[in-house]
Structure 1
Amino acid sequence: MFYFLSKTVSILSDAVFMHGFLLTALLGFMLLKRTRKFAVVGLIIVSGASLLITVIPVGDVLSHPLETRFEKPKLSQIEFAGTVTLAGSLDPDSYLERGEMNVWGSADRIFAMLRVASLYPDKPVLFTGGDGNLTERGFSEAVVLENWLDESGLKTSNMYFEEKSRNTHENATKSLEVVYREWPELAKKPWVLITSAQHMPRAVGVFRQAGWNVIPYPVDRSTSNDIHLASLNVSDGIKSLGRALREWVGLTAYYWTGRTDAWFPGPQDPGAEN
Structure 2
Amino acid sequence: MLYLDKLITQLAYPLGLSLALCCLALLLLGLRRRRLAAASLLVAVGWLGVWSLPVVSDALRWSLEGRFEARPVAALPAADAVVVLGGGMRAPPPGRPYPDLGAGADRAWQAARLFHAGKADIVILSGGRFAWQGERPSEAEAMRAFLRDLGVPDTALRLEGRSRNTRENAVETARLLAASGLERVLLVTSALHMPRALASFRATGVEVIPAPTDFEVMPEPAHPLRWLPDAAALADSTRALKEYLGLWVYRWRGWAD
TM-score range, shorter chain: 0.7 to 0.9
Structure 1 equivalent of residue 211 of structure 2: 217
Query: C-alpha separation between the residues in 1 aligned to 2:56 and 2:186?
Result: 31
Structure 2 equivalent of residue 111 of structure 1: 109
Displacement of 1:115 after TM fit?
A: 1.8
Of 144, 155, 158, the residue aligned with 2:156 is 158
Structure 2 equivalent of residue 259 of structure 1: 255
Displacement of 1:142 after TM fit?
A: 1.1
Structure 2 equivalent of residue 120 of structure 1: 118
CA RMSD of aligned residues (A): 3.2
Task: Tell me whether 1:177 sits opposite 2:187 in the alignment.
Answer: no
Identify the structure with bigger relative contact order (alpha carbons < 8 Å, sequence gap 6+).
Answer: 1
State whether residues 29 and 36 of structure 1, in contact with CA within 8 Å, keep that contact through their aligned partners in structure 2. no
Structure 1 equivalent of residue 135 of structure 2: 138
Corresponding residue SS for 1:180: helix
Displacement of 1:217 after TM fit?
A: 0.9
Query: C-alpha separation between the residues in 2 aligned to 1:149 and 1:125?
Result: 10
Of 31, 50, 56, the residue aligned with 2:48 is 50
Q: What percentage of residue pairs aligned between the two structures are identical?
A: 28
Corresponding residue SS for 1:191: strand
Displacement of 1:218 after TM fit?
A: 1.1
Query: C-alpha separation between the residues in 1 aligned to 2:107 and 2:160?
Result: 15
Of 220, 228, 245, the residue aligned with 1:249 is 245
Corresponding residue SS for 1:197: coil
Query: C-alpha separation between the residues in 1 aligned to 2:221 and 2:150?
Result: 41
State whether residues 78 and 118 of structure 2, in contact with CA within 8 Å, keep that contact through their aligned partners in structure 1. no
| 139-148 vs 250-259, greater mean Cα deviation | 139-148
Of 185, 190, 193, the residue aligned with 1:191 is 185
State whether residues 128 and 163 of structure 2, in contact with CA within 8 Å, keep that contact through their aligned partners in structure 1. yes
Corresponding residue SS for 1:130: coil
The size of the alignment, in residue pairs, is 251
Displacement of 1:33 after TM fit?
A: 7.9
Unpaired runs of at least 5, structure 1? 262-274
Query: C-alpha separation between the residues in 2 aligned to 1:97 and 1:48?
Result: 43
State whether residues 128 and 161 of structure 1, in contact with CA within 8 Å, keep that contact through their aligned partners in structure 2. yes
Q: Deviations over 1:46-100 (max 9, x none)?
A: 33333333347333222212101122444434232221000001146xx348745
Corresponding residue SS for 1:85: strand
Change (3 A) 1:111 1:147: closer
Query: C-alpha separation between the residues in 1 aligned to 2:15 and 2:95?
Result: 25
Displacement of 1:242 after TM fit?
A: 0.8
Of 59, 66, 71, the residue aligned with 1:68 is 66
Corresponding residue SS for 1:83: strand
Displacement of 1:6 after TM fit?
A: 4.2
